[in-house]
Structure 1
Amino acid sequence: MKKEIIAKGFMMTFAMLLMATLTWAQGDKASRPSPPQTASGKVGGANITISYSSPSVKGRKIFGDLVPYDKVWRAGANEATIFETDKAVTIGGKQLPAGKYSLYAIPGASEWTFIFNSETGQWGIKRTGDTSKDASKDVLSVTAKPAKSASMNEKLKYEVTSTGFTLLWDNTEVPVAIK
């Protein structure tokens, strides 16, 4: 009887340790294959922050293959990319109010569309592989011209400069002007 109680206690302790370890591991986003990153800077008087998960090329063809052309993409990995501004800004001649937005992109061979969507906090894609973007919550969309980057970028990154932001990945860069 006493051995049975000790065995049950041992099993309960082991099960609780296992659950705690699994729960903790799920919360450690930095150990993901596409870890979280943040780009921030000032454009005019506005503080801009872009929070995204940064996948790697890993020898793959990125644009037109892993990230298909003419299909909505979450502009990063894992959760949808977040674009935040503390002041209203003008992008592509259109006003974007201060706030937090999910940032999506539709890559194209010669032109990209960036979409600012008011719904935040969602996982970037559904089980079908389509994005989780709800078109009824799109606030603004702008086009931008991709170019060949000066150097190869193994990991996706965003840069915020005084003139806007740039998405850089693989051999591609896509600047978006902000005023």
Structure 2
Amino acid sequence: MSRYISISIVFGLLLITSCKEKKTEPLPEQPKETTTPEPPKKVLSPHTSTMTMIGDAHIHIDYSSPGVRDRIIFGGLLAYDQVWQAGAHMATWIETNKDLVINNKILPAGKYGFFTIPSKEEWTIVFNSNWNQHGKDEYDEKEDVVRFKVRPVISDEVTEHLEYQINKVNEKEGTISLSWEKVSIKFNFKVNQ
């Protein structure tokens, strides 16, 4: 019996010893992962549009607006005497729900690719039936609907981003202008009644 008591005591001591709280050293604090959120990327040629009503004619211009970003644009980035999609990425397009008279020519109601051929002395303005194309990749002069020339105006002020404006002159007439870098062009149109 004393043997059982001795075993019970030994067993009890073992049990008590194993149940004692173990002191452990705290783990070293792990460095927290810090991620700096990246600022949103600035769109270099934001997509934009302008539109207006001249009488009951709705005129809409849709384009991507590239920036100058300290570059020489006309005669530099854009070579003179070459077709330009008059914007960035996809060709700029113009849509009208009424026939327009531009430079004594009828532009029927519809949607058109808007192209220019810049040069130092004069620009060629082009309304092309193929409005849905990347840049000037598919430009074909045979698809031109209206084509005419205008003189550019040179300014001392820089227009950083390409900008189109449609301005109402009266209920039957308006102007369309394009400005970028130090150059602007403008032409008149009439709503064909």
How many residues align structurally?
A: 145
Is the contact made by 1:73 and 1:105 (CA closer than 8 Å) also made in structure 2? yes
Residue aligning to 2:61: 50
Match status 1:99 vs 2:110? yes
Is the contact made by 1:42 and 1:160 (CA closer than 8 Å) also made in structure 2? no
**Distance between the aligned counterparts of 1:83 and 1:74, measured in 2?**
12
Residue aligning to 2:11: none
**Distance between the aligned counterparts of 2:102 and 2:92, measured in 1?**
17
Shift of 1:96: 0.3
Q: Deviations over 1:89-134 (max 9, x none)?
A: 01111110000000000011111111101112110144xxxxx312
**Distance between the aligned counterparts of 1:139 and 1:133, measured in 2?**
12
Please give the secondary structure, in 1, of the residue aligned with 2:176. Answer: strand
The CA RMSD measured in Å over matched residues stands at 1.7
**Closer, same or farther in 2 for the Cα pair 1:117/1:125, shift >3 Å?**
closer
TM-score, normalised via structure 2 length = 0.71
Residue aligning to 1:110: 121
**Closer, same or farther in 2 for the Cα pair 1:106/1:43, shift >3 Å?**
farther
Unmatched 5+ stretches in structure 2: 1-40, 169-173
Match status 1:74 vs 2:111? no
Residue aligning to 1:155: 161
Residue aligning to 1:144: 150
**Distance between the aligned counterparts of 1:168 and 1:38, measured in 2?**
14
Please give the secondary structure, in 2, of the residue aligned with 1:178. Answer: strand
Instruction: Give the aligned residue type for 1:174.
Output: I
Unmatched 5+ stretches in structure 1: 1-29, 127-131
Residue aligning to 1:23: none
Q: Which one has a bigger Cα radius of gyration?
A: 2
The farther-off stretch of 32-41 and 54-63 is 32-41
Is the contact made by 2:83 and 2:136 (CA closer than 8 Å) also made in structure 1? no
Higher share in helix? 1
**Distance between the aligned counterparts of 1:159 and 1:150, measured in 2?**
20
Residue aligning to 1:177: 188
Identity of aligned residues (%): 39
Is the contact made by 1:146 and 1:174 (CA closer than 8 Å) also made in structure 2? yes
